[in-house]
Amino acid sequence: MKSVLLDTGCVVALLDRSERNHRRCVETVAEVDAPLVTCEAVIAEACYLLRGVRGAADAVLENVEQGTFEIPFRLDRSTAAIRTLLRRYASVPMDFADACLVHMADELNTGRILTLDDDFAIYRWRRSRVFERLLAG
């Protein structure tokens, strides 16, 4: 079963009930029958963006600890690829977390992603493959 990539906006919407996409993210994640994978950059962004929501950062980390959000990414093995992606998409511009997720798509051979970020309609994995944005629309 192919993993599903998890982006910051979805994590934030899952844990912030006041976020306008909360319900859609909760329902979509409940339907996903595959491992949810992400990277430390996404976890850091989510914790930062959720800093005003009581207990949210702890909930993010608890999801990592329990294996709900898996983190198979290793930056030390991926720096050259990440730098290449950041240069390729500099005009978008691509941020570090997005570059990590695009690289993870290549490594894990999956373009399925839970994201609220329209930039993933522009980004390509394996240089030419379109992401399947499970929250698009």
How far is Cα 71 from Cα 101, in angstroms, rounded to an integer? 11
Q: Is residue 68 part of a domain?
A: yes
The CATH number of whichever domain residue 125 belongs to comes to 3.40.50.1010
Q: Angle 22-31/8-15 helices, nearest 10 degrees?
A: 110
The answer to whether position 94 is within a domain reads yes
In the prediction, which pLDDT does 137 show?
66
The answer to whether residue 92 sits within a structural domain is yes
Query: Does the residue 70 lie in any domain?
Result: yes
- The reply to whether 114 falls in a domain is yes
The count of structural domains within the chain is: 1
Would you mind telling me the total number of residues written for the chain in this entry?
137
- The per-residue pLDDT for range 83-125, each reduced to its tens digit, is 999 999 999 999 999 999 999 999 999 999 999 999 999 999 9
Helix 79-88 vs helix 96-108: crossing angle, to nearest 10:
120
Residue 137 falls inside a structural domain: no
Residues 6+ apart with CB under 8 A from 33: 1
Range of the domain at 118: 4-131
Give me the mean pLDDT over the 51-63 stretch.
96
Give every CB contact of residue 107 below 8 A, 6+ residues apart in sequence.
72, 73, 78
DSSP state of 76: G
| CA triple 57-86-7, angle to 5 deg | 30
Whole-model pTM: value is: 0.96
Identify whether 62 is part of a domain. yes
Q: Is 85 within a domain? A: yes
The answer to whether residue 76 scores a pLDDT higher than 90 is yes
Residue-wise pLDDT for 25-34, tens only, equals 999 999 999 9
Q: Give the distance between the most distant pair of CA atoms in the chain.
A: 41
